[in-house]
């Protein structure tokens, strides 16, 4: 099945500090590409993989599960570790859950994590019942493009496959149990208004992780897909400052930002 235009993975070879960016459920690298390009323009090595079952048609997700999605980001993390002295992981929505699972599993191999509107728990009765409903109803309305800014759309499926949703709930259970094992420096960003993931998800993460270095930011002008919304530049700039604080070698020696060339 051909990829939807814009759903392609994005990679850029930059300096010795790398960032892995994990997109959300039913989404694609399109929601993370501007973030990845911003980091690349400031000299970082960047990888934005496409999760299995995403970027084509929603039916393709029905035969994938969270272990498949995690295997892809785990592989990309290992590849970045071979290329870079320090690696950070950033995640949006379910990509935040994958980021937390990576952090719990890989420990000090990850220098820090950034989460934007992370999804780690069921927020509705419908989600809690999905284990049964999925056998009767294969899909429901899609969740893409919860964006406050007019004229901007997220490339995501118009339908949400319920077998895949059920698998995501199992990822949530795994991540919730692992949160105390997350010790890396953490920049946790959430939108005050989010129609997809309730802000209580971010509160749960903040309460349960063991990160001694924890920074919180609340976005006032953006909805769920904040990486494509009014506050995107704030997210990009604060994440770059986070990386440079923890990895000073990622800062240009001249004091001026070097614009990276190339990328794919």
> Which residues are part of the catalytic machinery?
93, 194, 224
Q: Quick one: CA torsion of 250, 254, 257, 263, rounded to 10 degrees? A: -70
CB 184 within 8 A of CB 111: yes
DSSP class of residue 261 equals -
CB 11 within 8 A of CB 264: yes
CB 51 within 8 A of CB 24: no
Other CB atoms within 10 Å distance of the CB of residue 256: 7
If you write DSSP's letter for every residue of 64-113 in order, what string do you get? Answer: --HHHHHHHHHHHHHHHHHH-SEEEEEEETHHHHHHHHHHHHHGGGS-EE
Q: Is 140 exposed, middle or buried (0-12, 13-18, 19+ CB in 10 A)?
A: middle
Among 249, 56, 31, which residue's Cα sits nearest to residue 146?
A: 31
């Amino acid at each position: 099945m051909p990829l939807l235009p814009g759903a392609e993975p994005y990679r850029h070879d930059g300096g010795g500090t790398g960032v892995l960016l994990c997109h959300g459920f039913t989404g694609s690298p399109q929601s993370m590409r501007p973030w990845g390009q911003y980091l690349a323009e400031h000299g970082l090595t960047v990888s934005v993989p496409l999760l299995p079952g995403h970027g084509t048609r929603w039916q393709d997700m029905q035969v994938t599960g969270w272990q498949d999605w995690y295997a892809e980001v785990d592989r990309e993390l290992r590849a970045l570790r071979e290329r870079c002295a320090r690696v950070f992981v950033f995640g949006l929505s379910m990509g935040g859950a994958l980021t937390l699972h990576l952090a719990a599993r890989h420990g000090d191999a990850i220098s820090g994590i950034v989460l934007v509107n992370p999804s780690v728990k069921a927020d509705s009765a419908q989600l809690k019942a999905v284990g049964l409903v999925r056998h009767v109803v294969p899909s429901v309305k899609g969740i893409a493009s919860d964006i406050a800014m007019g004229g901007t759309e997220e490339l995501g499926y118009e339908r949400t496959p319920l077998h895949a949703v059920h698998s995501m709930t199992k990822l949530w259970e795994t991540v919730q149990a692992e949160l105390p094992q997350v010790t890396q420096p953490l920049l946790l960003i959430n939108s005050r208004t989010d129609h997809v993931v309730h802000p209580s998800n971010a509160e749960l993460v903040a309460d349960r992780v063991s990160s001694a270095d924890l920074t919180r930011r609340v976005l006032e002008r953006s909805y769920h897909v904040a990486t494509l919304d009014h506050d995107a530049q704030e997210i990009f700039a604060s994440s770059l400052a986070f990386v440079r604080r923890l990895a000073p070698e990622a800062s240009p020696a001249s004091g001026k930002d070097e614009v990276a060339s190339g990328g794919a």
